[in-house]
Amino acid sequence: MTVSVLDICLAVGILLCLAALITWACYYFRQLKKMDALLENYSLWQLSAEDVQDIQETRESRIISQLRQILSDASEKERLAVSEKNQVMELISDLSHQLKTPLANIVMNTEILMDDGLDAENRKDFLERTRGQAEKMQWLMANLIKASRLENGIIDFKAENAMIKPTLASAIGTVYAQASKKNIEIFMEEFQDRTLWHNPKWTGEAITNILENAVKYSPEHSHIRIGIRPLDIYTCITIADEGMGISEEEYPKIFQRFYRGEQAESNDGSGLGLYLSQLILQSEKGYVTVSSRLGEGSCFSVFLLNHG
Amino acid sequence: MKILETKDLKKYYGKGAGLVKALDGINLSVEEGEFAAVVGTSGSGKSTLLHMLGGLDYATSGTVTVAGKEIFKLNENELTIFRRRRIGFIFQSYNLVPILSVRENITLPVELDGRRADQRYINEIVEMLGIQDKMNSLPNQLSGGQQQRVAIARALASKPAIILADEPTGNLDSKTTQEVLGLLKLTGERFHQTIVMITHNEALAQLCDRVIHIEDGRIVGDSVRGGVRHEK
């Protein structure tokens, strides 16, 4: 049998094709193996700082890159679960820390009250103080737990497109008595009522906290002005007081848990009011910022979405 | 986990008498999901820091690790691809492509990478940013605030490991600034993005979880919201 040139070419051709096919198959399976390895141990991406598989121009590289992204998202969720547990522990620690002082005061007061030699007026005085401390503890408990639930998303209050005037009115109503005691007048500028995305009860509370803060740090016979500025996506509710003001460095700090501020009195309040306000507003996709100058009053801006 | 970490980062320009220490040993780390601000005056080194973090320039010494990779160990090609896939940028002057529509601008980084854009994800983003009606418009038909929102959408669309924002509200008026910042925070939280914003304006940092102060190339302050307690 004679073998022609054509036959040889054909044979070589087929062999080459086969070789190419096998090489391609090997490469393909190697890539699949890499992805298998990636999936098996998804913390791999943290350890391989030298690995540059996912930043080549190849298609496999793109897929590996996306896989890494997905896996890192999954591991992030795991981490969040662990951090929630830590937050509960933090809450317990906070509670015990904050309740320590009022409790000690109550114990001390009752010891004094047990003294038979105490006259009626002093007795009344100490009873008042004891009640005051107990009320403070109640308030603290309620708000700390509220804050913790909001942080963990356990309370999921529903926001809705609701009219804003009633919400503002109820907030003003709540602080009216406090403000009157200091002869502080609260003005709300005239505006056409509109719907904003918020939960009336909770937002009312958030704004009440801000108003209470304004009343607390404003001098007697001063004014608090509430204004409204509609923007593209949000509407801004401004609450301006004529109080002692806040320095720029303190802007982010005043919204922190238990922060009291350098100029604050150490008796009133607990440093939770503004923190809760920010939490509530952020839960309904809003937020609050402050703008202020020391000695020149502060302006709190509450942003609520125009529609949810 | 730490999405960003620098170790003793230094960037020096010139030499001898003319030596400028733009960054003089920065040790900084950012956790995943944080909205951090780097605040400093002009000349404090904050822009240089951003360029280092984004791999836009190489450092004199020290390391920057983003999403587990030491970026200065990568060559130019690898760094380019890494930036494209892992880092989102928002600039002061929006930097949108003028001849492309809003929709095309947003999907540009994803498509440059040869991937198809996830339309559902992008629709969610633009609805949250309030620009869903402008998808077919050109950038020059939008206001400054709207253009910056498009830039935010663009940064979010490719789901980067970290978004770096250089004075994102620098060209906006005060009202728009407040809105854009709020949106940045809102979308960052909603889509689980880590954002590092540099600014000279202290007041803008109040919405951030973390405020880092930089001065003369060094970190002089680092406060975390919610983590600062006043012990009695």
Alpha-carbon distance of B22 to A203, in angstroms, equals 46
* Per-residue pLDDT at A123 exceeds 60: yes
User: Cβ–Cβ of A45/B68 closer than 8 Å?
Assistant: yes
Alpha-carbon distance of A149 to A287, in angstroms, equals 18
User: Cβ–Cβ of A251/B32 closer than 8 Å?
Assistant: no
Domain contains B142 = no
pLDDT at B227: 38
Q: Which two tokens stand for residue A212?
A: 């209470």
Alpha-carbon distance of A180 to A186, in angstroms, equals 9
For residue B86, give how far its alpha carbon lies from the nearest alpha carbon of chain A (Å).
9
Domain contains B90 = yes
Residue B65: domain span:
2-96+162-224
Ordered strands of the B210-215 beta sheet: B87-90, B162-166, B195-199, B35-39, B210-215, B218-224
Alpha-carbon distance of A83 to A77, in angstroms, equals 10
Alpha-carbon distance of B142 to B164, in angstroms, equals 23
Q: Is A189 helix (H, G, I), strand (E, B) or coil?
A: coil
User: Cβ–Cβ of A287/B69 closer than 8 Å?
Assistant: no
Q: In terms of DSSP bridges, do strands B61-66 and B2-13 run parallel, antiparallel, or are they unpaired?
A: antiparallel
* Per-residue pLDDT at B139 exceeds 90: yes
Confidence label for A82 from pLDDT (cuts 50, 70 and 90): confident
Q: Span A288-299, mean pLDDT?
A: 90
Note whether A84-151 and A160-305 share their fold.
Answer: no
* Per-residue pLDDT at A26 exceeds 90: yes
Residue among B78, B129, B192 minimizing CB distance to A52? B78
Residue among B70, B82, B179 minimizing CB distance to A231? B179
Alpha-carbon distance of A183 to A179, in angstroms, equals 6
Q: For chain B, state the CA radius of gyration.
A: 18
Nearest CA in chain A to B188: A285
* Per-residue pLDDT at B194 exceeds 60: yes
Which amino acid would we find at residue A253? K
pLDDT at A237: 95
Ordered strands of the B2-13 beta sheet: B20-31, B2-13, B61-66, B69-70
Q: Span A8-31, mean pLDDT?
A: 92
Q: In this structure, what CATH number is given to the domain that contains residue B191?
A: 3.40.50.300
Domain contains B180 = yes
User: Cβ–Cβ of A50/B185 closer than 8 Å?
Assistant: no
Alpha helices of chain A — where are they, by DSSP H?
5-40, 44-47, 59-113, 120-151, 164-181, 200-216, 273-283
- How big is the A-B interface in CB pairs under 8 Å? 111
Q: State which H helix or E strand residue A224 sits in.
A: strand A223-230
* Per-residue pLDDT at B164 exceeds 60: yes
Domain contains B148 = no
Q: Which residues of A touch B230 (CB under 8 A)?
A: 258-260, 271
Q: Which residue has the tokens 């407040």?
A: B178
For residue range A142-163, list pLDDT tens digits in order.
888 888 788 777 777 788 999 9
Domain ranges of chain A: 5-76, 84-151, 160-305
Q: Which residues of B touch A65 (CB under 8 A)?
A: 85
Sequence-separated (6 or more) residues with CB below 8 Å from residue B219: B26, B27, B28, B212, B213
User: Cβ–Cβ of B114/A62 closer than 8 Å?
Assistant: yes
* Per-residue pLDDT at A260 exceeds 70: no
pLDDT at A39: 67
Residue among A56, A233, A252 minimizing CB distance to B183? A233
Please state the domain count of chain B.
1
Tell me which long-range contacts A136-140 makes (C-beta under 8 A, separation of at least 24). Answer: A136/A102, A136/A270, A137/A99, A137/A102, A137/A103, A139/A270, A140/A95, A140/A98, A140/A99, A140/A102, A140/A270, A140/A272
Taking alpha carbons only, the member of A308, A147, A163 closest to residue B190 is A308
Taking alpha carbons only, the member of A288, A144, A308, A123 closest to residue A210 is A288
User: Cβ–Cβ of B85/A301 closer than 8 Å?
Assistant: no
Residue among B115, B202, B229 minimizing CB distance to A62? B115
Query: What CATH number matches the domain at A160-305, 3.30.565.10, 3.30.70.260, 3.30.540.10, 1.10.10.10?
Result: 3.30.565.10
Q: What percent of chain B has pLDDT over 70?
A: 97
Alpha-carbon distance of B54 to B102, in angstroms, equals 24
**What's the CATH code, domain A84-151?**
1.10.287.130
For residue range B52-111, list pLDDT tens digits in order.
999 888 899 999 999 888 999 888 888 998 998 889 999 998 899 999 999 999 999 999
Domain contains B193 = yes
Which amino acid would we find at residue A42? Y
